[in-house]
Amino acid sequence: MASLQHVYTAPFARAVRSRSLTITTTSASLSVVPSRVSVPSLSRASHIDSHVLLGMSEVDLQQLAKDFGQQSYRGKQLHDLLYKTKAKEIKDFSHLVPQAFRNGLEEAGWKVGRSPVHRVVTAADGTVKILLKLEDNKVIEAVGIPVEDDKGTNRLTACVSSQVGCALRCSFCATGKGGYSRNLQRHEIVEQVLAIEEFFKHRVSNVVFMGMGEPMMNLKAVLEAHRCLNKDIQIGQRMMTISTVGVPNTIKKLAAHKLQSTLAVSLHAPNQNLRETIVPSAKSYPLEAIMKDCKDYFLESGRRVSFEYTLLAGVNDAVENAIELAELLQNWGSGYHVNLIPYNPIEGSEYRRSYKKAVLAFAGALESRRVTTSIRQTRGLDASAACGQLRNEFQKSPLLEPSDSAESQPAVALAG
């Protein structure tokens, strides 16, 4: 077979590059740039690498194989290697993929798209935080949460990041305090799930987009990763949750996709004034507007919205706050669910964790007003892997080279 490097022309390269970024979920627009609203600017250029196999669908991989002069079944083999065998490098394809095809992929700049593990932190409760070193030496965090339910069924939840850092700077969240660097690409989201599966040697059953970053400010890549996790890795849509603190115009765009996954909106306050003190970006997205979008989301998608509410002692955890929250939800419909999250302390924060008595009183006030309520169990607290604690020292500044010297530096800002 003739060497493929002689037929890999520039126009062909552009065609394959374009194909590798195709979204198959829907034709609806994925633009997330809000109009006439002041939100943190994300104009900084993202680290884009389009020659990545991870995240591609079986159809796209079959077409890629044909573009390289191979039969389409070679694309099916690539799909199995990526999502079943979990191969990390093209050289790992050797037992199935012909050498000429492997050489052609490598010469054209293709790669699998898996990142090395920089550090692993394990909590006493079995929760694990995995730090992955990306190609540009930035570090992201993913959390694996193993749970055995009352029936003895073992579940493994992956909490994945969608950005390196976060621009929204919620006052109680460690990630926002570390600043924003860039959006993640779809394969950098997907690989977090694979890294967790590899560590636990167990399939991930649930995925929550609740790690570092604001998913709605990287909606295109999040939806591409969601498609891959559902169609290629075979995680049910109903087993996935997309979380947002609220970005104008994006809930409507998400609703158009009619996903069966849960939308979780981080509310944290029952009125606009209090919400602005906790979530600075709320100034650009009034509470009334976000509630209307949530109501429209339910009508469009048929999926109820879950509201996340972090309880901060003496700030938003009074019974009066619960009563006001119940009235707010009832004014906008019924069937809402509130997930209460006891605050997880971070270094340098003025906030305190609510007492258990206050948490239970808050939940009781909601339930007595027919608002379905749950209290999130705190997991991974001693590893700074709990909700709101994800932060590493390399959000804005990448790891220094050579990497051997960087490996010895602490990668996690542990809570005091």
Quickly list H helices, 317-367. Answer: 319-331, 356-367
Record the tokens describing residue 329, joined without a space. Answer: 């939800």
- In the DSSP assignment, the letter for residue 163 is E
Question: Which amino acid does the sequence have at 287?
Answer: L
Is residue 387 part of the annotated active site? The answer reads yes
Give the integer Cα–Cα distance in Å for 173 and 166.
Answer: 10
Q: How many CA atoms lie within 13 A of 344 on its CB side?
A: 23
What are the residues facing 117 on neighbouring strands? 132
Given the residues 141, 188, 191, 214, the one annotated as active site: 141
Is residue 228 part of the annotated active site? The answer reads no
Given the residues 107, 387, 393, 401, the one annotated as active site: 387
Give the integer Cα–Cα distance in Å for 100 and 136.
Answer: 29
Give the integer Cα–Cα distance in Å for 326 and 59.
Answer: 47
Query: Closest Cα partner for 191 from 141, 119, 239?
Result: 141
By the 8 A CB rule, do 266 and 279 touch?
Answer: yes
Give the integer Cα–Cα distance in Å for 312 and 274.
Answer: 12
Distances (CA, A) of 156 to 62, 118, 284, 386, 408: 31, 21, 36, 15, 30
Record the tokens describing residue 347, joined without a space. Answer: 């270094």
Catalytic residues, by residue number, are: 141, 387
